[in-house]
Amino acid sequence: MQRKGEALDLDAGGRESNSAEQTRNRFNSEVSARKYARSLHGTATHRRELLCVRRLLRGLPPGSKVLDLPSGTGRLLPLLVEMGFRVTEADSSAHMLEEAQGYARTRGIAQGVEFRVEDAFLTSFRDNAFDAILCNRLFHHFREPEVRRRCLSELGRICRGQIVVSFFCDRCLGALIFRLRNWIRRRTPTDRIPIPRKQFTEDVEATGLRVVQTMATRRWIAKQWYAVLERPQAEAA
């Protein structure tokens, strides 16, 4: 039953769609790509994300093969290139990738970077293709555990090393404000929903991975956290 204040998400055929389909459709347009390209550049959020990603990937040696999925419009690409990685930028939206390629050319870093249209749930990459994966600003769109787990399984399949994933955690002031605002508006949110850290850990472990480190972009304040995932040592070997 649909609850008061809750929007029912339907696809073109009139059936209820899941958060993976809704996210894919929402960002797959020229307008969305142009808007996304301008949304975070130069902001404090951008600087905090750069700091976290740099810290979490600093143990990875230069020359490592790194997948940025979803790459969006390439906002984190300059950092990955600066760190000396061999980078593949991948996104389900060709419009996002077009913006990313243009951005890379203006920064003079397009050479040596591979750009691929790929869906995070079913990529065309071989098993263990990458030394590391960066999955930034995707999982906070996934409200269903089964969707998160399906995506985590694919990332685990194509990565032989660490996977850095961002998600929205409920252990912060931002999550409290989020819940309070929706309660006041009598609205049931369907996107960007903070989840318990324990729930995210359960999702990860259900796919055969494990959480080896977490980091908040602003401890006790911001919803956005990062988790470093790895396979258990015996399986990785």
What is the number of structural domains in the chain? 1
Structural domain includes residue 208: yes
Residue 125 CA to residue 105 CA, distance in Å, equals 25
Using the predicted structure, report yes or no on whether residue 11 has a pLDDT greater than 50: no
Confidence bin at 16 (pLDDT 50/70/90): low
Q: What is the pTM of this model?
A: 0.91
Within a 10 A sphere around the Cβ of 16, how many other Cβ atoms?
A: 10
Structural domain includes residue 2: no
Q: pLDDT (tens digit, 9 = 90+) per residue, 192-202?
A: 999 999 999 99
Using the predicted structure, report yes or no on whether residue 14 has a pLDDT greater than 80: no
Question: Is the CA virtual torsion 119, 27, 218, 64 positive or negative?
Answer: positive
Q: Which of 201, 193, 211, 213 shows the shortest CA–CA distance to 149?
A: 201
Using the predicted structure, report yes or no on whether residue 7 has a pLDDT greater than 90: no
Residue 71 CA to residue 77 CA, distance in Å, equals 8
Weakest mean pLDDT among 6-20, 106-120, 163-177, 214-228 = 6-20
Structural domain includes residue 229: yes
Average of per-residue pLDDT across 201-229: 97
Confidence bin at 236 (pLDDT 50/70/90): low
Residue 175 CA to residue 141 CA, distance in Å, equals 15
Residue-number span of the structural domain to which 128 is assigned = 19-236
Using the predicted structure, report yes or no on whether residue 143 has a pLDDT greater than 50: yes
Using the predicted structure, report yes or no on whether residue 177 has a pLDDT greater than 50: yes
Structural domain includes residue 6: no
Percent with pLDDT over 90 in the chain: 90
Confidence bin at 2 (pLDDT 50/70/90): very low
Residue type, position 237, single letter: A
> At a CB cut-off of 8 Å and minimum separation 6, what does 90 contact?
67, 68, 69, 70, 71, 97, 115, 116, 117, 118, 123
CATH number at residue 93: 3.40.50.150
Q: Which two tokens stand for residue 107?
A: 């920064």
Q: Which of 42, 12, 52, 25 shows the shortest CA–CA distance to 191?
A: 25
Average of per-residue pLDDT across 136-158: 98
Using the predicted structure, report yes or no on whether residue 121 has a pLDDT greater than 60: yes
Using the predicted structure, report yes or no on whether residue 124 has a pLDDT greater than 80: yes
Structural domain includes residue 14: no
Using the predicted structure, report yes or no on whether residue 96 has a pLDDT greater than 70: yes
Query: Would you say 152 and 180 are in contact if contact means Cβ atoms under 8 Å apart?
Result: no
Residue 14 CA to residue 63 CA, distance in Å, equals 47
Structural domain includes residue 7: no
Average of per-residue pLDDT across 165-173: 97
Residues in the chain: 237
Query: Would you say 107 and 99 are in contact if contact means Cβ atoms under 8 Å apart?
Result: no
Structural domain includes residue 10: no
Structural domain includes residue 165: yes
